Structure 1
Amino acid sequence: MSFFLPLLALSFLIFFHELGHFLVARAFGVKVEVFSIGFGKKLLKKTYGDTEYALSLIPLGGYVKMKGQSDSDPLEQSADEDSYTSKAPWKRICILLAGPLFNILLAFLIYASLSYGDKQVLLPVLGEIKADYPASKAGLKSGDRVLSINGESVQTWGEMAEIISSSSVLSLKIQRGEETFQLSLKPKEIEGKNLFGESKTHYVIGVGAKGEFGSVYFGVWDALKSGVKNTYENSLFIFEGIKKLIVGVVPTSEVGGVVSIVQVMHKASQSGWVSFALLVALLSINLGILNLLPIPALDGGHIIFNLYEMIFRKPPTPNVLYYLTLGGWAILLGLMMLGLYNDINRILS
């Protein structure tokens, strides 16, 4: 049972992805023949309207089978009005984009929900003031509370640290006891490492947190802004990770498979539901972005085919479509085997 929750969460992410395809396909009048969570033998199935809804044996996946479209047969076509292939290329692109965008939407909703309401946060109250650093030279003292930086209000230590790290000049509004005053300082530029082990310049002023916690209320607007910010930043992080993997900065030994994902989700669930929800949001973004990669077996590959048809006013030839799709499946299977190999290596070591 310890790994049941991660598997359930992964199935939900896939369900939400396929729900995006399903809703937009139906909105454009495409008949959805099957909506399945999981692959393989259908354990449970029920037909409502024109669609068969199924729960299949292998829970790590899922699919929407539209009329005139099949992942197993890229040459399947139908000229019927309610088929996928009879729709204009831009409509097909909308249907394909819906799955990944629904995953990104889900992440946004998780981030925004977790940000709403009264939260216990580490307050931007200064503790240690390091000698010979900009904060000490500017006259900051332990117990000072930072109210705003460069005109931007800060409520948490994390917000304060993030702004300082990326700012070469600072104008601080400080509260010291009953007194409030303004001061300016120039942070110290230092070299550090990013998450990919590369050198990166950032700024410090030489302060530590006093460790004071307090309750801060985040309203709807604050929660929405936080949702957008976290979704955007984590999307960029995943794009950057893929790019680093392709150019070799990140070794292929870091590629993980389903086993690693379930293990990490299990550990996160033991740390509390908030940690687990944050990881689910990150995985949802990851699922959405990976599906947009221009690999023929993925949504991104099919989008490329439809863009080709829009530009050249004709679809790719059946042979090109067939062999590119086979190549896409070969790439996916190769990545899956690499992830499984790395998972086994990690377990054995």
Structure 2
Amino acid sequence: MNTVIAFILMFGLLVFIHEWGHLIFAKRAGMLAREFAIGFGPKVFAFTRNETVYTIRLLPIGGYVRVAGEDPEIIDLKPGHHVGLEFNEFGKVNKIIVNHKTKHPNARIIEIEEADLDHALQIKGYEVGEEEKLVFDVDPKAFFVMDERETQIAPYDRQFASKTVTQRAMQLFAGPMMNFVLAIFIFLILGIIQGVPVEEAQMGEVIADSPAAEAGIKEGDEIIQIEKDSISTWEEFHTIVRSSPSEELNVTVLRDGEEIALTVVPNEAEGVEGEESFGQIGVYQAFEKSILGTIPYGISQTYETSKLILTNLGMLITGQLSIDALSGPVGIYDATDQIVQTGFTNFLLWTAMLSINLGIVNLVPLPALDGGRLLFVGIEAIRGKPVSPEKEGLFHFIGFALLMLLMIVVTWNDIQRLFL
């Protein structure tokens, strides 16, 4: 049960912060955000606030912000349609009843001759049985009423396409950006809880029965020399040990102001697919409490984790990593189950890594992802005019179908790994 709760909270946080970035920048640009959704599929819960419907949906495989103009509008008034019109106190149309007009006895029934709800915000037509042409001004925040459900109209200046290239690019980039911001914030919390790593090669926890413990290395020791090489940073120490599996290393440690000579032989650890084996001696880096140090720590950890994920992504693209290395929701749940059992700080670290991963993957220029849509905005900026909506829509539709196919394959691999 702890794993289920942890997974739901983690998934909800990652998706919420990503989509919240899209939502905030859409509203700042004046776009009409119709829906803010966590999950896909049937609605489980919904409420409306400030023009936006907030929903939680059944399938926990992502989320979205539906902005007016990104997809074809649901309702299109055509000549010959009969609609009911209701008016506000200023005489402007504030409700357009598409069907079930008998449930709105105060509505004026109009046969449409022409409707422009993008620019002029006018409806022209005739009352049924009359010949006099009437012109009705429409409130910019009027609603369609269809099957007794209200949907706000979207004048062109509230649609995605009406905004500048910069505004649209920022709205698309804001989701991944917020995932990086979340990761920095989580690393800040980790820095406050456990401290920040010291720059020197100072030992933290020494694992029992490890090569370091057998060599006599203790917590608090500082490695100042390996063989004839002076050591001043943890990175230098880590690099030498990692590159020396099964090799005898003469090290000099500084303990309580005294230099002590020791000998350690790193174990040979097997690398992941595509990597060579490496050495490890079973010690953790020392940490120190530093409130000011948490800020650069949060930024640097986010940067280093991003580099690692990008390296693995590059290996996947070049074929150095197979598709079997990918994990979907099932694999992430299984990993979360194992990590939750190791403690809260490791769970926070896992959440930060997944947040960075979500941000990077969404910036990959693939169809249906933020990066794919940013690609089209970039093409528009270069050529001076947008790609036709039909071509872009087909590109994203095919891409989304392929991504769903990839998700099925990855999920199947995850399930197989669980039972092998």
Give the TM-score normalised by the residue count of structure 1. Answer: 0.76
Residue 295 (structure 1) aligned with residue 371 (structure 2)? no
Residue matched to 1:102? 178
Q: In structure 1, the residue corresponding to 2:47 is in which secondary structure?
A: strand
Q: Partner residue of 2:46?
A: 45
Match of 2:69 in 1: 68
Is the 8 Å Cα contact of residues 116 and 222 (structure 1) preserved in structure 2? no
> What is the aligned partner in structure 2 of residue 133 from structure 1?
none
Q: Which moved more, 1:25-34 or 1:281-290?
A: 25-34
Which residue of the partner structure matches residue 185 of structure 1? none
Letter in 1 for 2:61: L
Which residue matches 2:343?
272
Q: Secondary structure at the match of 1:296?
A: coil
How many residues align? The count is: 315
- Report how far residue 49 of structure 1 moved: 1.5
Which one of the candidate residues 243, 252, 255 is aligned to 2:323? 252
Check conservation: 1:120, 1:213, Cα contact below 8 A.
no
Is the 2:39–2:63 contact (alpha carbons within 8 Å) kept by the matching residues of 1?
yes
CA positional deviation for 1:288? 0.8
SS where residue 116 of structure 1 aligns? helix
Partner residue in 1 for 2:18: 17
Structure 2: which 5+ residue stretches go unaligned? Answer: 75-117, 119-153, 207-215, 244-250, 261-267
Matching of residue 124 in structure 1 with residue 203 in structure 2: yes
Within 5 Å, which residues of 2 pair with 1:290-329?
A: 290-329=361-400
CA distance in structure 1 between the partners assigned to 2:388 and 2:401 by the alignment: 20
Alignment partner of 1:115: what SS? helix
User: Conserved in 2, the CA contact under 8 Å of 1:255 and 1:338?
Assistant: no
Task: Tell whether the 8 Å contact from 2:43 to 2:57 is kept in structure 1 after alignment.
Answer: yes
Q: Which SS does the other structure have where 2:31 is aligned?
A: coil
2:297 equivalent to 1:218? no
Cα shift at 1:162: 3.3
- Counterpart of 2:384 in structure 1: which amino acid? R
Post-superposition shift, 1:274? 1.1
Structure 2 letter corresponding to 1:146: E
Would the alpha carbon gap of residues 70 and 305 (structure 1) be closer, same or farther in structure 2, given more than 3 Å must change? same
Deviation at 1:106, TM superposition (A): 0.8
Which shifted more, 275-284 or 79-88?
79-88
Report how far residue 301 of structure 1 moved. Answer: 0.3
CA contact (8 A) 2:204 2:285 kept: no
Distance 2:305 2:285 in 1: 26
Shift, 1:319, TM fit: 3.6
1:33 aligns with 2:34: yes
The sequence identity of aligned pairs, in percent, is: 31
Mean CA deviation greater in 314-323 or 21-30: 314-323
Distance 2:290 2:223 in 1: 18
Structure 2 counterpart SS, 1:221: coil
Which of these residues, 188, 197, 200, is aligned with residue 274 of structure 2? 197
Match for 2:165: what amino acid? P
Match of 1:84 in 2: 160
The 3 A distance-change label for structure 1 pair 179 and 273 is: closer
Bigger Rg over Cα: 2
Q: Which runs of 5+ in 1 are unaligned?
A: 128-140, 182-190
Matches of 1:107 and 1:212, distance apart in 2:
22
- The alpha-carbon deviation at position 120 of structure 1 amounts to 10
Aligned to 2:160, what secondary structure does the other structure show?
coil
Report the Cα distance in structure 1 between the residues aligned to 2:314 and 2:356, rounded to whole angstroms.
16
Following superposition, the deviation at residue 213 of structure 1 comes to 9.7
Matched with 2:415 is 344
Q: Indicate the residue corresponding to 1:136 in structure 2.
A: none
Residue deviations 1:12-68 (CA, integer Å, cap 9, x gap):
110110011111111212121111112222222211121111222223321111111
Shift in alpha-carbon separation, 1:326–1:142, aligned structure 2, 3 A? closer
Q: Which of 294, 312, 315 pairs up with 1:241? A: 312
SS in 2 for 1:85: helix
What's the secondary structure of 2:172's corresponding residue? helix
Greater CA deviation, 216-225 or 300-309? 216-225
- Give how far 1:275 is off: 1.3
Once superposed, what is the RMSD of the aligned Cα atoms?
3.9
